[in-house]
Structure 1
Amino acid sequence: MRVLLAVPSSPARLHNLVPLAWALRTAGHDVKIAGRSSFVDEVLRTGCVAVDLEDGDAAGLAESAALVEFAELWRPEVVVSDARAQAGTLAARAVDAVAVRLLGALDEPDAGAADTTFDTVPPSLRDTGTGARAVRHVPYFGPVVVPNWLRRRTRRSRVLLSIADATLFEPVFAAVAGLDVEFVCATDPDRVPAGIAVPAGVRFVDSAPPAALLPTCAAVVHDGDAALALAAAAHGLPQLSLTGSALAARIAAAGAGHVGSAERIPELTADDALRGAAHALRDEIAALPAPRAMAAELTR
């Protein structure tokens, strides 16, 4: 079977499609991922075949004459689109293929125009009234090299600090001072504003790849990164989102995390109820149909 995937120029959105692409390829199907010229190298990094769509703006994929033209040439049976790649549905209609939409952490469900919609956000964190069908989220962040420092066992609980906004360092460091926890922060220490004391438990590293790091963590603190939030949920980790978002609010409502003040960081490793809710969310995600089941259903 020929399957064409359409994705806008967003690594997070591409990464949400990759587990399905791999499942389809492993099952023996011919899979290609279409994106803008500026995004082709990112597609190639997933190990998949890329289709270079030269026309249109650099970021979006709402419309693409090149995508429709390629579909008419290649004649895929199924076209899978990201929610922001509506051109995929148009291409499917042009060749009478099945139009499939795959939602991720960055999306909110709506009626849509696809024949079938799948959702990698678990039902407990999503309004399921639109008829989207749940599929297991498999975290993927691109190629990863396990850093040498991660090959050594830590003596303390480990928490990932994923902070892009430098103004958040001061309240975070104030909250973690004195805790017997290793806080891993993948940033240049020079980004910490002058005059802010760095607690002894904070460890700065060049890189902290979530695929390698999350299985070793007890919790995650982030600044609203939806992809990281969903990955933390899949690993059963309590989390704190320092900024609000719909997904973060639902995780907090499920009892698996908090939203807002850095003062709640100590609760992440000390609250048994929080940890239990995070484990329940992990188990819910693990029980959902895997991408290979979705691939088999598309074949049928």
Structure 2
Amino acid sequence: MRVLMAAPSSPARLHNLAPFAWALRTAGHEVKIAGRPSFAEEILRTSAVAVELEDGDETALAESAALTEFAELWRPQVVVSDALAPAGTAAARAVGAVAVRVLGALDEPDAADPADVTLDTVPPSLRTGSGAVRAMRHVPYFGPVVVPNWLRRKARRSRVLLHLTDETLFGPLFDVVAGEDFELVCAARIPSGVTLPANVRLVDSAPPAALLSTCVAVIHDGDAALALAAAAHGLPQLSLAASAIAERIAAAGAGKTGSGEEARALTADAELDRAAKALREEIAALPAPRTIVDELIR
């Protein structure tokens, strides 16, 4: 079977599609992923075949004559698209293919969704919206990574992953966690004037794909992909910035939102840990991408 995928120029959104693409390929189907020329290298990093479309809006693949032209030439049976790539559904309609939409942590189900099948990688307990969706297990993927040498040695204390893009958050957080009985690991440029506590480990590389399975918690500033990955690993998490998915995880009891003060109890709250593990079990019980592929074939 030929499957054409359409992705906007967003690594996070492409990474949400990648496990489904792998499931299709390992089941023996031919898969190509279409995107803007500037995004082709990112597509190739997923080990997929890339199709370069014409230049255009990088944030959303709303219209693409080239995508429809390629579909008419290649004749895929299925066209899979991200929520910000509605051109995929238009291409599917042009060639009589099945239109599949894949939703991620930043998307809401929509009752007016024109796709034939809508797959949602957000677990039901964290989902909002009124559209009919088919749940698909979230498989965390962050692109190619190398396990850093320092991670090959056993940690001397519990490890917490820290991922912040807002540099102003480091100082207040470090003041709070100094002296806590866990190791805070981060790979970031720490602003001048910020004192690094003894329990903060500054490293050159802290890839979540390699690190999450060794952690007991995660602190971030609203990163949706990291929040959903932490949920899949059953890790309590703290978001220091507003984020829809982080707020739903907090409402489920598996995380917290707010200031760095919440970090003090992040690794010692039994109820938080129980809820995080329950969320992990919910995600693990959802159909894997390969199961969805079998259903799609039938």
Give RMSD over aligned pairs: 0.9
Tell me if structure 1 keeps the 8 A contact 2:4–2:78.
yes
Distance (Å, rounded) in 2 between the aligned partners of 1:253 and 1:133: 23
Tell me if structure 1 keeps the 8 A contact 2:54–2:64.
no
Deviation above 3 Å: which 4+ runs of structure 1?
none
Tell me if structure 2 keeps the 8 A contact 1:55–1:66.
no
- The correspondence of residues 91-130 of structure 1 with structure 2, limited to 5 A, is 91-111=91-111, 112-127=113-128, 129-130=130-131
Q: Describe the superposition over 1:259-294 as per-residue Cα deviations: whole angstroms up to 9, x where unpaired.
A: 111100021100010000000000000000000011
- The correspondence of residues 233-272 of structure 1 with structure 2, limited to 5 A, is 233-272=231-270
Q: Describe the superposition over 1:232-262 as per-residue Cα deviations: whole angstroms up to 9, x where unpaired.
A: 0000000000011111111001000001111
- The correspondence of residues 1-300 of structure 1 with structure 2, limited to 5 A, is 1-111=1-111, 112-127=113-128, 129-188=130-189, 191-194=190-193, 196-300=194-298
Distance (Å, rounded) in 1 between the aligned partners of 2:170 and 2:239: 14
Tell me if structure 1 keeps the 8 A contact 2:216–2:235.
yes
Runs of 5+ unmatched residues, structure 2? none
Of 111-120 and 282-291, deviating more is: 111-120
1:234 is aligned with what amino acid?
A
Instruction: State the 1:201 CA deviation.
Output: 0.4
Instruction: State the 1:127 CA deviation.
Output: 2.0
SS in 2 for 1:269: coil
2:281 is aligned with what amino acid?
D
Instruction: State the 1:57 CA deviation.
Output: 2.5
Q: Describe the superposition over 1:76-113 as per-residue Cα deviations: whole angstroms up to 9, x where unpaired.
A: 00000000000000000000100000000111221211
Tell me if structure 2 keeps the 8 A contact 1:103–1:120.
yes
TM-score by length of 2: 0.98
Distance (Å, rounded) in 1 between the aligned partners of 2:28 and 2:267: 44
SS in 2 for 1:47: coil
Distance (Å, rounded) in 2 between the aligned partners of 1:12 and 1:187: 19
SS in 2 for 1:22: helix
Distance (Å, rounded) in 2 between the aligned partners of 1:25 and 1:137: 18
Count of residue correspondences: 297
Aligned-pair identity in percent equals 72
Of 26-35 and 46-55, deviating more is: 46-55
Instruction: State the 1:193 CA deviation.
Output: 3.4
Distance (Å, rounded) in 1 between the aligned partners of 2:202 and 2:258: 23
Tell me if structure 1 keeps the 8 A contact 2:224–2:245.
yes
Instruction: State the 1:128 CA deviation.
Output: 5.8
Tell me if structure 1 keeps the 8 A contact 2:71–2:92.
yes
